[in-house]
């Protein structure tokens, strides 16, 4: 499996607009973070997780040239506002809709924002089209099973995803935007090769894991490697690398991880 971190920033990205007190070193490009989204290649399938507002630029800079399935973790703007740019991938599929999987909350949000795209074929060539699918406990795709779980994130529940590639037996957990990783999610991820965790900042936050909370989850799950995402400007790449054990790394935009 391969995981490409397209974006690793919180809802305002780093640097923030009209803000001059960034705590991270902006001379280090690893601290420039677009909004959080990721691309997984498993059993040859290209699975896109979320579409940040910078989705088009993320696809270009990371050479994303194919998307077979789209999974939306939840309907917050920093995860959903790039979906119109899926139009290019509909075009490639001979103008047929792209399958979008999410919770009720996520699908309702997509329908509210993109009413012109909820159809089996794009209205005109070059338009986007989304086929909405309510995701169940598992999503079976050829050669890969995706187990799903729900995690608390303020007033909503966010989809946690555990990818299991049949051919290699490798497992990868992707848990962004959560205040807690409940027991089902911890069990699913136990001993997985790669774990991705929300680690917003050092200080307590009502809807996201802090660095210490993320480290505790990682230790309990015993993942071989853990990558931190959805980070604010408080999180400096070099400082974190010095402080953290070698199997836990802050992710950065453009990082590619293979299992």
Binding site for Zn ion (CB under 5 A): 76, 78, 177
Residue nearest Zn ion, CB atom distance? 76
Q: Phi then psi for 216, rounded to 5 degrees?
A: -65, -40
C-beta of 78 vs 193, nearer to Zn ion: 78
DSSP string, 125-190: TT---EEEEE--SEEEETTEEEEEEEEEETTEEEEEEEEEETTT--EEEEE-S-S---HHHHHHHT
User: Shortest Cβ distance from residue 70 to Zn ion (Å)?
Assistant: 16
* Peptide bond connecting 15 to the previous residue in cis, omega within 30 degrees of 0: yes
C-beta of 47 vs 209, nearer to Zn ion: 209
C-beta of 39 vs 164, nearer to Zn ion: 39
C-beta of 67 vs 72, nearer to Zn ion: 72
Is the distance from CB of 162 to CB of 173 less than 8 angstroms?
Answer: yes
User: Shortest Cβ distance from residue 77 to Zn ion (Å)?
Assistant: 8
User: Shortest Cβ distance from residue 246 to Zn ion (Å)?
Assistant: 27
156: Cα separation from own chain's centroid = 16
Rounded-to-integer distance, Cα 139 and Cα 103, Å: 12
Q: Phi then psi for 146, rounded to 5 degrees?
A: -110, 115
User: Shortest Cβ distance from residue 242 to Zn ion (Å)?
Assistant: 27
C-beta of 177 vs 253, nearer to Zn ion: 177
User: Shortest Cβ distance from residue 76 to Zn ion (Å)?
Assistant: 4
């Amino acid at each position: 499996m391969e995981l490409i971190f397209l974006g690793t920033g919180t809802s305002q990205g780093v640097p923030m607009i009209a803000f001059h007190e960034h705590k991270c070193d902006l001379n280090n490009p690893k601290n420039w973070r677009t909004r959080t989204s990721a691309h997984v290649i498993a059993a040859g399938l290209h699975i896109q997780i979320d579409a940040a507002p910078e989705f088009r630029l993320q696809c270009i800079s990371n050479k994303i040239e194919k998307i077979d399935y789209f999974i939306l973790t939840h309907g917050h703007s920093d995860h959903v506002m790039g979906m119109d740019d899926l139009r290019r991938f509909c075009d490639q599929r001979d103008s047929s809709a792209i399958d979008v999987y999410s919770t009720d909350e996520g699908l309702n949000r997509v329908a509210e924002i993109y009413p012109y795209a909820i159809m089996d074929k794009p209205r005109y060539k070059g338009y986007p089209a989304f086929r909405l699918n309510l995701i169940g406990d598992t999503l079976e795709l050829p050669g890969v099973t995706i187990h799903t779980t729900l995690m608390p994130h303020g007033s909503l529940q966010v989809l946690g995803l555990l990818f299991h590639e049949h051919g290699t037996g490798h497992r990868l957990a992707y848990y962004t935007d959560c205040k807690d990783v409940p027991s089902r999610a911890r069990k699913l991820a136990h001993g997985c090769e790669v774990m991705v965790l929300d680690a917003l900042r050092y200080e307590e936050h009502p809807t996201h894991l802090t660095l210490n909370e993320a480290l505790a989850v990682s230790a309990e799950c015993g993942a071989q490697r853990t990558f931190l995402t959805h980070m604010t400007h408080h999180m400096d790449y070099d400082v974190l690398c010095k402080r953290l054990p070698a199997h836990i790394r802050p992710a950065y935009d453009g990082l590619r991880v293979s299992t």
